[in-house]
């Protein structure tokens, strides 16, 4: 893994109001675009709600080239935080398996509600 452009970019959850492509997410998180692709692959195969958030192609497969939903961006940010703490993709995969609630839509919505209360 390359050195991050901004070491602190994943210290906080990423909340966007719009779908974003992986290049944009990489700029926000201070990592390379290929790193965001790797993190999204980890999430795709281990977090069903992340996978289901992708739009589907006419043949029924997932369109992994489509922009990421705000929820998916949040998950990518959380995976980035874990990567900065444990440094190993294998450890992140184990962490996702042991703590699936850390990445689910319910946790995302609760965190979003708390953020809106603070901003109000």
- pLDDT tens digits along 14-46: 999 999 999 999 999 999 999 999 999 999 999
Confidence (pTM): 0.88
67-90: per-residue pLDDT in tens? 999 999 999 999 999 999 998 999
What is the Cα–Cα distance from 18 to 92, expressed in whole angstroms?
26
**Do the beta carbons of residue 31 and residue 76 sit within 8 Å?**
no
Q: Residue 9 pairs with which residues in a beta bridge?
A: none
What lies within 8 Å, CB to CB, of 4 at 6+ separation is 30, 31, 84
């Amino acid at each position: 893994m390359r050195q991050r452009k901004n070491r602190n970019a994943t210290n906080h959850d990423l909340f966007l109001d719009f779908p974003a492509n992986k290049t944009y997410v990489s700029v926000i998180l201070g990592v390379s675009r290929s790193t965001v692709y790797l993190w999204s692959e980890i999430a795709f195969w281990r977090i069903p709600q992340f996978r289901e958030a992708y739009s589907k192609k006419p043949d029924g497969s997932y369109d992994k080239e489509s922009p990421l939903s705000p929820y998916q961006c949040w998950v990518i940010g959380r995976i980035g935080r874990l990567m900065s703490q444990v440094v190993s993709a294998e450890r992140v995969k184990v962490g996702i398996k042991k703590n699936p609630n850390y990445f689910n839509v319910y946790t995302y919505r609760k965190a979003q509600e708390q953020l809106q209360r603070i901003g109000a």
